A and B are shown apart, each in its own frame.
Chain A
Amino acid sequence: MTLTAPSHNPPLSGPQTDLQPVSMRTEGGLRAYLRKVVAIAAKDLRAEARAKENLSAMIAFSVLAVVVFGLAFDLRVPRADMVAPGVLWVVVLFAGVLGLNRVFGAEVDRGSLSALLLAPIDRSAIYFGKVIAQMAFMLTMEAFVVPIVLVIFDVNLFSPWILAGLFLGTLGYVSVGTLFAALTASTRARETMLPILLLPVMVPIFVAGVGLTANILDGREVAEFGRWFLILAVYDLVFITIAFLIFDLIWEDA
């Protein structure tokens, strides 16, 4: 015998209410895939807008961290623009861990991960949906950090090149972070495991991000800081591809 496709199932009928029959979309391919990616991202954004668990913690932590760094460096550092790039990227990395811990941690805690994994979707769609939502959280947090750096350190980071570098670095960070968050989601000590595993892999992003920001603040030419862009772009491409290829395997025995 064969399974009857849900679209051909008879409507359920009962004494109280008849259930409407199910009608399925028949189109597949990229559009169907992207629709699921968008649904997952939109669900995460909507849930965060209601619960305000992640983003508020990330923003509060990042703003406080910039202020603390400002107080600490104010005593000894002759020029604030010498430390501002490092402060920016350290704050982004550490505040990001707060959010990344919840990417799948929240799904595990409430038990909804099983429902996601049970859905008839390519699991890389879950990955990309999560990356999009997490990028939105990170960029929102950075929208607070950059002006705070201007106020505390008197360093203007509102350069298109710096913002483009920040975007590329954040994309690489979130791409790898989401993959590692999936790996550690079901472990007992995920809050400590994630940064321990993730931060060493983030060294290229950190070095390239700080190098790029410092070069631009020093007034160097594009030809001089272009290589940092290249490193960030290649890092993003490599890790997004790896994540796409292996994400399904992570959940083989979830």
Chain B
Amino acid sequence: MTDTALISVHNLHKRFGRKPVLRGIDLDVAQGEVVALLGANGAGKTTLMRMICGLAKPDRGEITLGGVSLRRAGRELRRYIGLVTHAPLLYDSLSAQENLHFFAALYDLDQPEDRIESVLRAVELWARRRDPVRTYSRGMIQRLAIARAVLHSPPVLLLDEPDTGLDQSSSQMLHDLIRRLGASNRAILLSTHNLDRAVEWADSVCLLGNGKIVRREPTGQLNGDRLRQIYAEADGTP
């Protein structure tokens, strides 16, 4: 674990039945860093994310957030995590404002009105705040999911394929948010299948294959084509 690692995963193992999914994952994400997790479907990206946020238990290994063991700290550590997945984790019969008020209550936010207004304005949904979520487009729902995830200002942000189904403008907005959030000293771990976006959005990329991190590359010297080449090499495809 590096000195500044906010997310630190060490020797993480997980199997479902007889099938090993993760076989000794080691991963650090520093404060202010955005790391993209890449890998084929079933490579274990979602499983890794779910274990980091405490929704699944590892068979073996250690996860620490800010040096605090997730296994030991339990419930209180969940306060420091924000999660966005391709499923929105929202209530579609409630409005955006009602959804955020509900989560504000769960996270003990005191007088959350100003905070809710600012996150809804940041994702450009303030004008639609009273509309039921079921009337939203896919892009709007995903923006609201991001607003929900950052509502309590978590230092650790896990984005599991947040760009799935987003149009160009929603995708650009997500990118802007990730840049702004990363700049606020958060550690952001995101998974995506879009290699160009991974290069654009992240400070480094991790390739997940065969249950392990097989390669980690800073994105400074990368472009989409070079990453595709590295991805193919790591994946074993010609």
List chain A positions with a Cβ less than 8 A from chain B: 1-4, 6, 9-10, 12-25, 32, 35-36, 39-40, 43, 46-47, 50-51, 110-112, 114-122, 252-254
**Could you tell me the distance between the alpha carbons of A1 and B31 in the complex, rounded to whole angstroms?**
10
**How many contacts between A and B, using CB within 8 angstroms?**
157
Extra contacts, 14 of them, besides A111-B89, A112-B89, A118-B83 (Cβ < 8 A), are A2-B66, A12-B150, A14-B176, A19-B122, A19-B153, A39-B105, A40-B106, A43-B91, A46-B94, A110-B90, A111-B85, A112-B90, A114-B89, A254-B55
* Residue among A14, A46, A110, A114 making CB contact with B83, cutoff 8 Å: A114
Q: Are the C-beta atoms of B66 and A118 separated by less than 8 Å?
A: no
- Mask: chain B, 145-157; 1 = CB below 8 Å from A; 0 = not: 0001011111110
- B residues in contact with A18, CB < 8 Å: 118
**Could you tell me the distance between the alpha carbons of A183 and B15 in the complex, rounded to whole angstroms?**
21
Q: Are the C-beta atoms of B89 and A119 separated by less than 8 Å?
A: no
* Residue among A13, A23, A122, A253 making CB contact with B110, cutoff 8 Å: A23
B side interface size, CB within 8 A: 64
Asked, given contacts A18-B118, A19-B115, A111-B88, whether A6 binds B152 with beta carbons under 8 Å apart, the answer is yes
Residue B109 lies at the interface, judged by CB distance under 8 Å to chain A: yes
Q: Are the C-beta atoms of A120 and B75 separated by less than 8 Å?
A: yes
- A residues in contact with B67, CB < 8 Å: 1-3
- B residues in contact with A6, CB < 8 Å: 79-80, 152-155
Query: Smallest CB-CB separation from B123: which chain A residue?
Result: A17
Residue B114 lies at the interface, judged by CB distance under 8 Å to chain A: yes
Asked, given contacts A51-B93, A111-B87, whether A24 binds B105 with beta carbons under 8 Å apart, the answer is no
The dominant DSSP class at the A interface is loop
Q: Are the C-beta atoms of B108 and A25 separated by less than 8 Å?
A: yes
**Could you tell me the distance between the alpha carbons of A124 and B181 in the complex, rounded to whole angstroms?**
32
A-B contact pairs, 13 of them (CB 8 A): A13-B180, A25-B109, A36-B106, A47-B91, A110-B88, A111-B87, A115-B89, A115-B148, A118-B78, A118-B81, A253-B56, A253-B57, A254-B55
Query: Smallest CB-CB separation from B90: which chain A residue?
Result: A112
Interface set, chain B 64-122, CB cutoff 8 A to A: 65-68, 75-81, 83, 85, 87-94, 98, 102-103, 105-111, 114-115, 117-119, 121-122
Interface set, chain B 4-21, CB cutoff 8 A to A: 4-6
- A residues in contact with B115, CB < 8 Å: 19-23
Residue B229 lies at the interface, judged by CB distance under 8 Å to chain A: no
Residue B3 lies at the interface, judged by CB distance under 8 Å to chain A: yes
- B residues in contact with A121, CB < 8 Å: 75, 106
List chain B positions with a Cβ less than 8 A from chain A: 3-6, 31, 50, 53-57, 65-68, 75-81, 83, 85, 87-94, 98, 102-103, 105-111, 114-115, 117-119, 121-122, 132, 148, 150-156, 176-177, 180-181, 184-185
Nearest Cβ on chain A to B66's Cβ, whole angstroms = 3
Asked, given contacts A6-B154, A114-B85, A118-B81, whether A32 binds B55 with beta carbons under 8 Å apart, the answer is no
- B residues in contact with A17, CB < 8 Å: 118, 121-122
- B residues in contact with A35, CB < 8 Å: 105
Asked, given contacts A22-B153, A118-B78, whether A47 binds B181 with beta carbons under 8 Å apart, the answer is no
**Could you tell me the distance between the alpha carbons of A122 and B92 in the complex, rounded to whole angstroms?**
25
**Could you tell me the distance between the alpha carbons of A47 and B198 in the complex, rounded to whole angstroms?**
37
Q: Are the C-beta atoms of B94 and A119 separated by less than 8 Å?
A: no
Q: What 9 A-B pairs have minimum CB-CB distances, sorted nearest first?
A: A111-B87, A3-B66, A115-B89, A39-B105, A14-B180, A119-B106, A120-B79, A50-B93, A22-B153
**Could you tell me the distance between the alpha carbons of A215 and B153 in the complex, rounded to whole angstroms?**
59
Q: Are the C-beta atoms of B54 and A23 separated by less than 8 Å?
A: no
Q: Are the C-beta atoms of B114 and A20 separated by less than 8 Å?
A: yes
**Could you tell me the distance between the alpha carbons of A163 and B55 in the complex, rounded to whole angstroms?**
41
Q: Are the C-beta atoms of B102 and A43 separated by less than 8 Å?
A: yes
Query: Smallest CB-CB separation from A27: which chain B residue?
Result: B108
- A residues in contact with B50, CB < 8 Å: 114
**Could you tell me the distance between the alpha carbons of A119 and B83 in the complex, rounded to whole angstroms?**
10
- A residues in contact with B76, CB < 8 Å: 120
Nearest Cβ on chain A to B172's Cβ, whole angstroms = 12
